């Protein structure tokens, strides 16, 4: 692993503070992680982030190489790509991005810790970290345990157009989800505001929340569960999960909102219909149900 060598001079200074001030655009939390994981050493030894540097101390910072392990397997996730954007199938259990916001200004931060979708993007498509493209091309997101279709912009123009499409509800979104119990009606519309009420840690249906509307259709029935096609008309955080739990039919495997047990959370982003961000041509993309979803549904629908 290539290392960058820096020689410190001046009054005593904390290691993490020095790393932030090196001009590499490191956030304080990212600098701490570099020290804690031995990726930034002092005179060849691992030191705490609070270690005080003195004149002549040699700080070596590991070069975080994109294009290696973190990018492995990314190409198999790509289902569409042109000069303007790409579409990928996010696996269930993979977070879209790290919790710490430092990666937004220093994409190398994505390479520390568990692999995420953006760390894979940074490794496999480093050009998407160029100036003008924000957040490595993200225009929307999926929950960690939701699988399926996601769009990522490759140009500034495409990113702004796609973000506007989601914001202005110009995207026709379809999810497939398995829920506990069987809804009384084949078609349903849930119109209930969502927000985070004072004193509550999780988002829920709340009278003072933001407008949220979800439409669903029952496509298959199990013994005590159902498979739905779900169309979120708005794009609130956890909207589908919250709305279906609100009507007494939580997503199976959704531990946060009380869903029945399943091998994984049974929610999948299936399709998007939208105008191409540059040509304006109607574009339809689909992400077929992954094998782990099919296996989990087969197991629970008989219970």
* 33 touches 113 (CB < 8 A): yes
Closest CA to 276 of 108, 153, 110: 153
Do both 301 and 215 map to the same domain?
Answer: yes
Confidence of residue 213 (pLDDT cuts 50, 70, 90): very high
Please give the average per-residue pLDDT across 118-146, as a whole number.
92
Phi and psi based region of residue 93 (left: phi greater than 0; alpha: psi -120 to 50; beta: remaining): left
Confidence of residue 66 (pLDDT cuts 50, 70, 90): very low
- Of 128, 144, 168, which residue sits at a domain end? 168
Do both 119 and 46 map to the same domain?
Answer: no
pTM of the model: 0.81
Confidence of residue 1 (pLDDT cuts 50, 70, 90): very low
Pairing of strands 40-42, 58-62: antiparallel
Helix, strand, coil fractions of the chain, as percent rounded to 5: 25, 30, 45
- Residue 183: CB atoms within 10 A of its CB come to 18
What's the half-sphere exposure (Cβ side, CA atoms, 13 Å) at 11? 1
Residue 105 pLDDT exceeds 90: no
Do both 87 and 47 map to the same domain?
Answer: no
Do both 140 and 154 map to the same domain?
Answer: yes
pLDDT in tens, 143-193: 999 999 999 999 999 999 999 999 999 999 999 999 999 999 999 999 999
Q: So what's the pLDDT on residue 64?
A: 55
Do both 189 and 259 map to the same domain?
Answer: yes
Instruction: Quote the DSSP letter at residue 141.
Output: -
Mind telling me the catalytic residues? 143
- Of 134, 168, 202, which residue sits at a domain end? 168
CATH of the domain at 193: 3.30.2350.10
More confident residue, 71 or 182: 182
Give the domain extent around 40: 3-62
- What is the number of structural domains in the chain? 3
Residue 84 pLDDT exceeds 80: yes
Query: Exposed e or buried b for every residue in 288-300, given b needs 16+ CB within 10 A?
Result: eebebbeebbeeb
Residue 200 pLDDT exceeds 90: no
Q: So what's the pLDDT on residue 130?
A: 84
Residue 51 pLDDT exceeds 80: yes
Do both 242 and 258 map to the same domain?
Answer: yes
Question: Can you tell me the distance from the alpha carbon of 111 to that of 53, in angstroms, rounded to the nearest whole number?
Answer: 26
Please give the average per-residue pLDDT across 61-74, as a whole number.
61
Residue 219 pLDDT exceeds 50: yes
* H and E: helices and strands count for the chain: 6, 17
Do both 117 and 163 map to the same domain?
Answer: yes
Closest CA to 83 of 132, 138, 153: 153
Do both 224 and 289 map to the same domain?
Answer: yes
Q: So what's the pLDDT on residue 94?
A: 93
Do both 79 and 150 map to the same domain?
Answer: yes
pLDDT in tens, 221-264: 999 999 999 999 999 999 999 999 999 999 999 999 999 999 99
Please give the average per-residue pLDDT across 12-28, as a whole number.
82
* 224 touches 182 (CB < 8 A): yes
Beta bridge partners of 189: 215
Do both 125 and 179 map to the same domain?
Answer: no
Residue 67 pLDDT exceeds 50: no
Do both 54 and 149 map to the same domain?
Answer: no
pLDDT in tens, 278-297: 999 999 999 999 999 999 99
Do both 158 and 258 map to the same domain?
Answer: no
CATH of the domain at 52: 3.10.290.10
Asked which of 68-72, 211-215, 289-293 is least confident by mean pLDDT, the reply is 68-72
- Of 151, 168, 185, which residue sits at a domain end? 168
Please give the average per-residue pLDDT across 89-117, as a whole number.
84
What does the mean pLDDT of the chain come to? 90
């Amino acid at each position: 692993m290539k290392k960058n060598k820096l020689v410190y001079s001046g009054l005593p200074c904390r290691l993490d503070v020095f790393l932030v001030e090196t001009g590499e655009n490191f956030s304080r939390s990212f600098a701490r992680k570099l020290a804690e994981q031995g990726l930034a050493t002092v005179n060849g030894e691992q030191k705490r982030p609070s270690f005080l540097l003195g004149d002549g101390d040699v700080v070596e910072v590991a070069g975080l190489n994109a294009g290696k392990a973190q990018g492995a397997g990314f190409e198999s996730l790509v289902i569409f790509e042109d000069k303007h954007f790409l579409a990928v199938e996010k696996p269930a259990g993979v977070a879209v991005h790290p919790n710490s916001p430092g990666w937004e200004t220093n994409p190398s931060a994505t390479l520390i810790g568990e692999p995420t979708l953006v760390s894979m993007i940074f490794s496999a498509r480093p050009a998407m970290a160029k100036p003008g493209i924000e957040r490595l091309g993200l225009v929307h997101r999926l929950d960690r345990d939701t699988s399926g279709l996601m769009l990522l912009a490759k140009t500034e123009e495409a990113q702004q157009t796609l973000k506007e499409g989601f914001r202005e509800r110009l995207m026709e979104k379809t999810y497939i989800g398995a829920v506990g119990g069987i809804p009384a009606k084949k078609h349903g519309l849930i119109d209930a505001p969502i927000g985070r009420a004072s004193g509550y840690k999780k988002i829920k249906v709340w009278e003072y929340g933001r407008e949220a509307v979800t439409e669903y259709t029952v496509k298959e029935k199990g013994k005590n569960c159902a498979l739905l096609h779900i169309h979120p008309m708005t794009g609130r955080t956890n909207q589908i999960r919250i709305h279906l739990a609100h009507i007494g039919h939580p997503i199976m495997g959704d531990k946060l909102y009380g869903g029945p047990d399943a091998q994984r959370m049974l929610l999948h982003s299936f399709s998007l219909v939208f105008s191409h961000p540059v040509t304006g041509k109607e574009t339809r993309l689909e992400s077929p149900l992954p094998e782990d979803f099919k296996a989990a549904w087969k197991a629970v629908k008989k219970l």
